[in-house]
Amino acid sequence: MNYADLITETVTELSKVEKAQKLVAKQKRAQFLRLLKTGEATTQAQAGGMVGWKLRYSQSIWQSYRRGGLARLLDSSERWYAREAVERRDGTAAKLLDGVWSGGFG
């Protein structure tokens, strides 16, 4: 996979985003992309290992990036990961979670 072409942000942009993050989790997400973009890491497993992640989490981060870009990875609600897991199991459950997360059930 040619990550340099697939990652739309420049290395400079990724570095700036990485440094601007206050939360370590978000910083690692930007770093993960930067490592792949620059070629310092040639696989998701390698880039994930460099930031302290296991393979499956690295794959999930990459899939989320492909679905929604960097903005999705830096989403302050950080609910995208749990929502995707539920959607994979049952699309209707995700609709119920929307109500819970938005305060619609109470």
**Domain co-membership, 12 together with 62:** yes
Question: What is the pLDDT at residue 10?
Answer: 96
Of the candidates 86, 70, 58, the one whose C-alpha atom is nearest the C-alpha of residue 26 is 70
**Domain co-membership, 87 together with 71:** no
pTM value is 0.73
**Domain co-membership, 62 together with 24:** yes
Domains held by the chain: number: 2
**Amino acid at site 36:** L
Question: What is the pLDDT at residue 77?
Answer: 65
**Domain co-membership, 60 together with 10:** yes
Question: What is the pLDDT at residue 79?
Answer: 58
**Domain co-membership, 63 together with 88:** no
Q: Report the chain (106 residues): mean pLDDT per 10 consecutive residues.
A: 95 96 93 97 97 94 94 74 49 48 46
Question: What is the pLDDT at residue 75?
Answer: 85
Range of the domain at 59: 3-75
Q: How far apart are CA 74 and CA 61, in angstroms?
A: 11
**Domain co-membership, 40 together with 65:** yes
Residue with tokens 């942000």: 9
Q: How far apart are CA 104 and CA 106, in angstroms?
A: 6
**Domain co-membership, 59 together with 83:** no
8 A C-beta contact, residue 61 and residue 53: yes
Question: What is the pLDDT at residue 96?
Answer: 47
**Domain co-membership, 31 together with 81:** no
